[in-house]
Structure 1
């Protein structure tokens, strides 16, 4: 994270009347998440995402719209609050803090939860991207100067992607985006929502665990559990060959994103670039609270 990102986050919070006297940095990754203690509010500002994607505010707006759609249908989600707002070139979003415990749902429970999520999203009519992870891949490759090996890998994969029905998806439906609370699981982080094949979310749920760690191949039992919970997904939409192609796309997206993130961090660490902030700087940079 940079001082510029933190200043934008704190300034936006102050303008909204939120406290900034005792902030805690919860996460410093693709986005920076700060708990604005003592308020039960988490502020999120684009970091690596801003350098790769550009339109962070658009992603935040879509995430909030999807969350509200799901909440209206009784699906437990992290509640979006004010925002997103744009300040000094940075997009900042605010959500209610949800206390939760470490850990991840077992794969079968996540598959059931995902089937219900897809059913609740079926009638979402808000605007969503149609290329989803391919937008990330192309943006990352552009930042990297289109390295020939990865560009060739992308072209070959795109040519093999199956033509299957699409629907609104979570977009990053791994177990780390399901918060474990005393009241039950709560969905979080719809920033990557898009119109895509159900297989994409199932791949994310089956191949990615809490914190992004791989958990192995998708088994037929997991697919069957998902289909039993989903409203109207046909078995051929999540057939093994379909899952295999989208697992390749997930791997390509992850590889390109990691490479782009490394480049962003290297540029920020250069003497001529902005000085990287440290967690301790959060308190130093926080403006005085204005009542």
Structure 2
């Protein structure tokens, strides 16, 4: 999750912080950035620990998973490009060298999004995705779309999952990867958000803005249309939200022959997002094992609950 608050109030992901070192991390990052951590509120702690400062309209986002530290420089470049092209998105705080390195901690520092505005809808997501997907592509290097890379990294960082489950996930990744390699996409390659669901739009008085650029890459726009479609099936999100996305964007990924493969990729991400924090967050284990059981049994209609 990026700066601000999630529009849907959900939490879903994994990280490596514990209550013991959260305060230490925030204090170190704020000292390096010249900010005051007093009274800060923890908004979220998953792949990143996200704090709203009390002393300034600033959000601090500290990388929680060692396997994902490599993405931070890219996040800064993408955020800068979006600002230069006036795409509605969260903005980095100016005047601070970013990312902020403080001992073992790596962070980005963002302008807090003002409160207000209506809840984002499917058509809002469609309009923002069209802004991303239209040429020109950014001139700076971006990684090619490798959607299973972070899945494999999380499996490698798994803390508290037995060997049989890990072996199943690795084998599943290999099978899905082969099917993914065989796909022929119909939309032209573009800048991708990479995790384009309504929870990554933040309401503001000027309209919804995009956040969370950890998964940005160059790849097929079909991927950015997949999360909301999967959310309807797995999380029971209103189908009307996805229909709005289709009408406004002009492409229905669920009617494309490659969608079942993209759905499998998305579900692997949704399953593995908590693997690095299983020991410190035992409350997510029942939902994790339910998701694993559904995928093992081939149950494509079972509803999942958000990790909390």
Q: In the superposition, relative to structure 1, how do residues 176 and 12 fare at CA in structure 2: closer, same or farther (>3 Å)?
A: same
* Cα shift readout 1:184-221 (whole Å, capped 9, x = no counterpart): 11111111111221111111243348xx9552679676
- Could you report, residue by residue, the CA deviation over 1:128-164 in whole angstroms, capped at 9, with x for unpaired residues? 2224321111112223468222222222211111133
CA contact 1:110–1:205 (8 Å) conserved in 2? no
Measure how far apart 1:89 and its partner are: 1.3
Number of residue pairs the alignment of both structures matches: 251
**Could you tell me which residue of structure 1 aligns to residue 175 of structure 2?**
156
1:80 and 2:97 matched: no
With normalisation by structure 2, the TM-score equals 0.71
Calculate the TM-score normalised by the size of structure 1. Answer: 0.75
For the structure 1 residues 154 and 102, does the alpha-carbon distance in structure 2 shift closer, same or farther, using more than 3 Å as the test?
Answer: farther
Q: What CA distance in whole angstroms lies between the structure 1 residues aligned with 2:278 and 2:238? A: 26
CA–CA separation in structure 2 for the residues paired with 1:191 and 1:116 = 18
Structure 1 counterpart of 2:194? 171
Deviates more, 1:132-141 or 1:181-190: 132-141
In the alignment, which residue of structure 1 is the partner of 2:207? 184
| Partner in structure 1 of residue 166 of structure 2 | 147
Rounded Cα–Cα distance in structure 1 between residues aligned with 2:111 and 2:36: 14
Structure 2, gaps ≥5 residues long:
1-16, 283-308
Q: Of 191, 197, 200, which aligns to 2:220? A: 197
1:136 to 144, 147, 150: 150
Q: Superposed, which structure 2 residues align to 1:23-172 within 5 Å?
A: 23-47=40-64, 49-50=65-66, 53=67, 55-56=68-69, 58-81=70-93, 82=96, 83-101=98-116, 104-119=119-134, 122-144=136-158, 147-161=166-180, 162-164=183-185, 165-172=188-195
Deviation at 1:241, TM superposition (A): 1.6
Secondary structure at 1:98 match in 2? coil
How big is each residue's C-alpha offset from its partner over 1:251-272, in whole Å with a ceiling of 9 and x where there is no partner?
0111122334325646xxxxxx
Give me the whole-angstrom Cα distance separating, in 2, the residues matched to 1:137 and 1:264. Answer: 19
TM-fit CA distance, 1:222? 3.6
Q: CA deviation at 1:60?
A: 2.1
Alpha-carbon spacing, 1:160–1:15, altered in 2? closer, same or farther (3 Å): closer
Change (3 A) 1:204 1:21: same
Find the counterpart in structure 1 of residue 237 from structure 2: 215
Going from structure 1 to structure 2, the CA distance change for 1:220 and 1:77 (only over 3 Å counts) comes to closer
Cα distance in 2 for residues equivalent to 1:172 and 1:31: 15
Per-residue displacement from partner, 1:20-54 (whole Å, max 9, x unpaired)? 2222222222211112222111111122x33xx2x
Classify 1:188/1:213 alpha carbon distance in 2 versus 1 (closer, same or farther; 3 Å): farther
SS at match of 2:29: helix
**Root-mean-square deviation over aligned CA pairs:** 2.8
Indicate conservation of the 8 Å contact 2:32/2:100, yes or no: no
Change in 2 beyond 3 A, CA 1:86/1:219: closer
| Farther-moved stretch of structure 1 (101-110 vs 132-141) | 101-110
Give the whole-Å Cα distance in 2 for the aligned partners of 1:111 and 1:72. Answer: 21
Measure the CA separation in 2 of the matches of 1:219 and 1:39.
36
